[in-house]
Structure 1
Amino acid sequence: MDKKTMIYQVVAAIPKGRVCSYGEVAKRAGLPGYARFVGHTLKTLPSDSRIPWYRVLNSQGKISFPSGSDGFIRQQQALLAEGVLVTDGKVSMAKFAWKL
């Protein structure tokens, strides 16, 4: 299985209302140290993809898009729709992180 497929599988498994960091996705995909590759992989998803990319945040729980950008607004709205509280572009990882 290729790296991108492994990342897609992990991201697809993040439960609704939960989030995960890029680094944690990489680790769960068996690719520790590949956090940036996870970001690049999600950035290049086809526009019609059903993979919940918006559930992946940086290690501080922040949305990685610039504040106010289209991507930022789409990600924030998708998270809020699932009951994930976003304050100033940040999510409490203690409260909303996906725990196995």
Structure 2
Amino acid sequence: MNSYMGGGRTNWNNNQRVADSVDHTASQITLACDMITNAGINFEGIQQELMMLANQPSPPEPAQLISIANRIQTTKRQIDDSVQKVKEFARNIDSKTDEIQNRGGW
């Protein structure tokens, strides 16, 4: 048994499994961050549309404002959902690293 590995091959395999899980979770965090970035792009589009409406000679129609309000709500929900996912993934990483630390072998 290799003492520097804290238990030999079995411990290394367990650590590798946890490392793979953490790596997968990190990829999921990247995806959630991309979703947040896309929401920011959506907000920029909404901003441009509002500026265009503000420069028109006549006021916007109620249907246009309702459509913009719905897009804002949907985009905010996307951000909120993505942030919750990032928090969930961070907790997952924390629990996986705790698993390694509690073994004391990596």
Q: TM-score scaled to structure 1, two decimals? A: 0.25
Say which structure is richer in helix: 2
Q: Give the number of the structure with larger relative contact order, counting CA–CA contacts within 8 Å between residues 6 or more apart.
A: 2
Max Rg structure: 2
